[in-house]
Amino acid sequence: MPIGRPKKTKKTRKLKRAAIAVRAPVKRGKLPVSEIGATVRMRAEAAAAIAQARTSHERLRQAIDILPQGIVFLDADGRYILWNKKYSEIYSRSSDLFEPGARLQDTIRIGVERGDYPEAIGREEAWIAERLTRLYQPGERHEQVLADGRCILIEERLTEDGGVIGLRVDITELKQREASFRLLFDSNPVPMIVCALDDERILGVNDAAIAHYGYSRAEFEKLTIGNVQAFDSQPPWAGDHSSDELTARTWKHVRADGALIDLAIYSRQLVYGDRPAVLLSLMDITERKRAEARLAFMAQHDGLTGLPNRGLLRQEIDEMLQHTRRSSDKMAVLMLGLDNFKAVNDTLGHGVGDKLLRSVAKRLRSTLREQDTLARLNSDEFAIIQSGLARPEDAVLLARRLLEAIGEPYLLDGHSVVIGASIGIAMAPGDGEESEKLLKHADMALSRAKNDSRGTFSFFESGMDARAQGRRKIEIDLRDAIQSEVLRPYYQPLIDLSSGRITGFEALVRWPHPERGMVSPAEFIPVAEETGLINALGGLMLRRACMDAVLWPDDVRVAVNLSPLQFRAGNLLSVVMEALKQSGLPAKRLELEITETLLLEKSSQVLATLHALRALGVRISMDDFGTGYSSLSYLRSFPFDKIKIDQSFVRGLGTNNDAQAIVRAIISLGVGLGVTITAEGVETEAELACLRSEGCHEGQGFLFSHARPNAEIVAMLTAQRGIDGGALTAVAKAARVA
Ligand code: C2E
Ligand code: MG
Ligand code: MG
């Protein structure tokens, strides 16, 4: 163990002298016997005291050995008296030099010569002199670097007898950490400031902070944090002194270059040197804030028009409803749907469609008061919250104004575009206590307005809800009926008016409902169209009609109705081809009936499909001719094989001269175009006679037959073929009999 000899203290020296004085006269035999006893006692006492001193010394050695710091005791001459294990470990390179009585200054000199102290290299004498001066400066602390890179903190204190107690702490790790912190601090692109926690003086700043604030380092260090702009009088960690957690605040702040930014300041307590301090990191979060604001806006607004979207509208309705509950005011939710917006998109392109929507939004906005909310719900639907109403009539006035404003022509990319709208209105209190319900009811009222006649408005009525539920039930049952093929075609004959022969049958869908009996297609076709079930329904009808017709005589055709939505599905051509192939029915025996609404869209896809179908050999008929807005112009867009005059023009023929004039015109038009003309809804002999006299080619109607199930068709054909060329009435009778 590298431990020195026990130090001779005053007490031990005195005791030893006494022991020697006692021992001497006894040896010489001059001492009286009475004194001998006392001398022996004193010797024993001295020996005990020495033993005790040794024990204390030993204990002291053991105690200092377990200390984590190095400790050394030097006497007044700077000679080693005692040192502990850690001290020898720290100075392991020069531990061979320590021995009791050796002088520190000598060991230091030898160490310097051997290169134990890199800081001394080149200025050895000066270094040694400085080192020794420090030795006797009480309380002085300094650091020392050793040859292997370790850093030792040295603290030395004078003892009462002029000696020195020296403490050595290995602070290598601490120094390394400090160095990495410095590096992180100095070269960090984030501006950082360290300031004292007590007097808030700035203790350090990094380059980024200098650039950020435009103060020099020297200027900075004269400031307290309160003087630095943006922190105002309140330090950024105010109220958080106790925490050393990372805490963040955000501030609006003008940077040195004048830019207004959002600043997040993270603060964390630390000890800087030996002062409790706070490290502030300043993050410019302007972009993040902007992006957050943008996202928040986008989440609540429509990208095209910048109007609130459904989510925000709902929030606003709910807020307004709360207000309504507290006051006697009423509010209205107006749901506005554009009529035939899709046609604009399809014919003039999406660019014009988008411009139209923006213009509509603008007109609506300018028709409303500041406090009314306007939102866009989906492609062609807008909603308005009208607040502070006294009576429902106020909503009527607004609806009228809105419809009028929208109806004015728009000039878009050189096109003059006219678009109409319909409005559904729900009122609160009354039609719903929360936004979802009010919107749903306004939507139902809108559907009603659209169905009644476009370009109008309609109020929600309580019965609408029940009707909507009824539709929902139809939808569920219909899905089942299509899947189980309960839904099936009935056939109504088409009669050649000159020969009286059956030329074909129109397949009309029939739904024998287990509870409701035969449900009319007028009731469920619109539901099928709304729910997309129309594609399955149409496919089923095509397959069944072709399968049935293939068993009829070769010259008898079958006509199948198509919904415009089947064209949008995009696979109509292959569905038709598949039905023909599966059944083996020649294409020329299939007729497809389309309505004018399909051509309203004028899309190139629709026309291409029609041409492709015709190229297969399938015949194309225009159904319900005359009911659309510009039936005549549609005749130019596609070469139809047949025109079916709508039954509204046939009704009253023979008695109503106007109807007869219209029918005559249509027939001569058809003859001119080389197209077959069929009259729908022939119910009376008079109508039939008139149609014949006008030269109409074909007729269809209850006068001949209602639609019948396939099982009865064969019988009907047999009866008719048996008569073969007989009078028309006879055919009609035969058909009715069958
Ligand atoms: P539509 O294609 O014009 O069919 C003629 C409608 O007039 C049929 O009504 C028929 O029963 C009825 N009708 C025939 N003769 C007379 C008559 O003398 N007097 C009167 N008042 N009515 C007569 P239905 O079967 O109720 O069908 C109505 C509409 O439903 C059809 O009109 C057609 O547009 C549609 N529809 C029927 N079946 C289908 C189908 O399979 N697919 C599609 N997409 N629509 C269908
Ligand atoms: Mg039809
Ligand atoms: Mg028709």
Ligand nearest to the CA of 522: 1
Q: Which of 599, 603, 602 is nearest to 621 (CA)?
A: 599
Report if residue 518 sits inside a domain. no
Which residue among 561, 563, 623, 704 is best mutated to probe the pocket of ligand 1, counting the most ligand atoms within 8 A of its Cβ?
561
Q: Which two tokens stand for residue 193?
A: 């400031």
The gap from C-alpha 227 to its chain's centroid, in whole angstroms, comes to 42
Which residue's CA is minimally distant from atom 22 of ligand 1? Answer: 681
Ligand nearest to the CA of 524: 1
Environment class of residue 132 by beta-carbon count within 10 Å: exposed (0-12), middle (13-18) or buried (19+)? middle
Does residue 334 sit in the same domain as residue 441?
A: yes
Which ligand 1 atom is at minimum distance from the Cα of 683? Answer: 18
Residue nearest (by alpha carbon) to ligand 1 atom 12: 681
Q: What is the pLDDT of residue 738?
A: 38
Do residues 580 and 647 share a domain? yes
Closest residue by Cα to atom 17, ligand 1, is 681
Q: Which atom of ligand 1 is nearest to the CA of 595?
A: 34
**Which residues are CB-neighbours of 695 under 8 A, at least 6 positions away?**
667, 671
Same domain, yes or no, for 564 and 683?
yes
Same domain, 55 and 75: no
Please check whether residue 419 is in contact with residue 338, taking contact to mean a CB–CB distance below 8 angstroms: yes
Q: Which ligand is nearest to the CA of 528?
A: 1
For residue 553 the two structure tokens come to 């005589």
649/503 same-domain check: yes
Considering every ligand atom, which ligand is closest to the CA of 492? 1
Centroid of ligand 1 to alpha carbon of 508 (angstroms) = 6
- State the total domains in the chain: 5
Q: How far apart are CA 171 and CA 153, in angstroms?
A: 6
CATH number of the domain residue 695 falls in: 3.20.20.450
Atom 15 of ligand 1 has which residue's CA nearest to it?
701
Cα distance from N-terminal residue to C-terminal residue, the chain: 130
**636 CA to centre of ligand 2 in angstroms:** 21
Ligand 2 centre to CA of 525 (Å) is: 13
Q: Which atom of ligand 1 is nearest to the CA of 534?
A: 44
Minimum CA distance residue for ligand 1 atom 27: 521
Identify the sign of the CA torsion 86, 89, 91, 95: positive
Residues less than 5 Å from ion ligand 3, measured at CB: 623-624, 680
Residue with tokens 């603060």: 267
Kindly state whether residue 296 falls inside one of the protein's structural domains: no
Reported as a single tens digit per residue, the pLDDT across 387-401 is: 988 888 889 999 999
Ligand 1 center to 162 CA (angstroms): 125
Q: Are residues 572 and 721 in the same domain?
A: yes
Report how far Cα 129 is from the mean position of its chain's Cα atoms: 72
Alpha carbon of 477 to ligand 2 centroid (Å): 24
**Pocket-testing residue among 680, 682, 710, ligand 1, by greatest number of atoms within 8 A of Cβ:** 680
Nearest CA to ligand 1 atom 35: 521
C-alpha 21 to ligand 3 mean position (Å): 149
Identify the domain boundary among 145, 170, 195. Answer: 170
Ligand 1 centroid – CA 476 distance (Å) = 23
Ligand 2 center from residue 736 Cα (angstroms) = 20
Give the closest residue (by CA) to ligand 1 atom 20.
Answer: 681
Pairing of strands 642-645, 676-679: parallel
In a domain, 51, yes or no: yes
Burial class (CB in 10 A: 0-12, 13-18, 19+), 468: middle
1 within a domain of the structure (yes/no): no
Please indicate, yes or no, whether the overall pTM of this predicted structure exceeds 0.75. Answer: no
Compute the distance from residue 593 Cα to the ligand 2 centre, in Å.
6
Q: Where are the alpha helices (DSSP H) in 207-285?
A: 207-213, 217-220
Distance from C-alpha of 602 to C-alpha of 618, rounded to nearest angstrom: 21
> 475 alpha carbon to ligand 2 midpoint, in Å?
22
Closest ligand to residue 591's CA: 2
CA of 646 to the centre of ligand 3 (A): 6
- The reported pLDDT for the residue numbered 234 is 54
644 CA: nearest ligand 1 atom? 3
User: By the 8 A CB rule, do 339 and 455 touch?
Assistant: yes
Whether 468 is covered by a domain: the verdict is no
For ligand 1, what atom is nearest to the CA of residue 707? 11
Please check whether residues 14 and 96 belong to one and the same domain: no
Structural domain ending residue among the three candidates 108, 136, 170: 170
For 62-95, the DSSP string reads HHHHT-SSEEEEE-TTSBEEEE-HHHHHHTGGGG
Domain around 344:
301-460
Asked whether residue 82 is assigned to any structural domain, the reply reads yes
- Decide if 47 contacts 20 (C-beta within 8 A): no
Is residue 5 situated within a structural domain?
Answer: no
Asked if residue 631 and residue 550 are part of one domain, the reply reads yes
pLDDT tens, position by position, 112-143: 998 899 999 999 999 999 998 888 777 778 99
Nearest protein Cα to ligand 1, atom 21: 681
Give yes or no for a contact between 359 and 412, defined as CB atoms under 8 angstroms apart. Answer: yes
List beta partners, residue 193.
205, 280
Residues 435 and 553 in one domain: no
pLDDT at 506: 98
CATH of the domain at 324: 3.30.70.270
Please report which ligand is nearest the Cα atom of 701: 1
The CATH number of whichever domain residue 207 belongs to comes to: 3.30.450.20
Q: Which atom of ligand 1 is nearest to the CA of 541?
A: 41
- What atom of ligand 1 comes closest to residue 489's alpha carbon? 41
Q: Are 599 and 676 within one domain? A: yes
Query: How many angstroms is it from 698 CA to the middle of ligand 2?
Result: 14
Last residue of a domain, one of 250, 265, 289: 289
CA 620 to centroid of ligand 3, rounded, Å: 13
Closest protein CA for atom 19 of ligand 1? 681
| 166 plus 180 within the same structural domain | no
**Residue whose CA lies nearest to ligand 1 atom number 4:** 508
The residue contributing the CA closest to ligand 1 atom 2 is 561
Q: Locate the ligand 1 atom nearest the alpha carbon of residue 508 and give its number.
A: 38
Centre of ligand 1 from the C-alpha of residue 292, in Å: 57
Shared-domain flag, residues 106 and 218: no
Is residue 493 a contact partner of residue 716, using CB atoms and an 8 Å limit? yes
Atom of ligand 1 nearest to the CA of 520: 26
Residue at 616 is within a domain: yes
The strand pair at 698-699 and 488-496 is best described as antiparallel
Atom of ligand 1 nearest to the CA of 562: 44
Output the CA 677–ligand 1 centroid distance in Å: 17
For residue 497, the CA-to-ligand 2 centroid distance in Å is 18
Q: What is the pLDDT of residue 32?
A: 67
Question: Given ligand 1 and candidates 494, 495, 508, 642, which is best to mutate, with the most ligand atoms within 8 Å of its CB?
Answer: 508
pLDDT lower than 70: segments of the chain: 1-34, 229-249, 453-454, 600-602, 628-631, 722-738
| Polymer length in residues for the chain | 738
Token readout for 595 is 């309505």
Q: From the CA of 506, how far away is ligand 2's center (Å)?
A: 7
Provide residues with CB under 6 Å of ligand 1.
Answer: 492, 508-509, 520-522, 525, 538, 541, 561-563, 593, 623-624, 647, 680-683, 700-702, 707
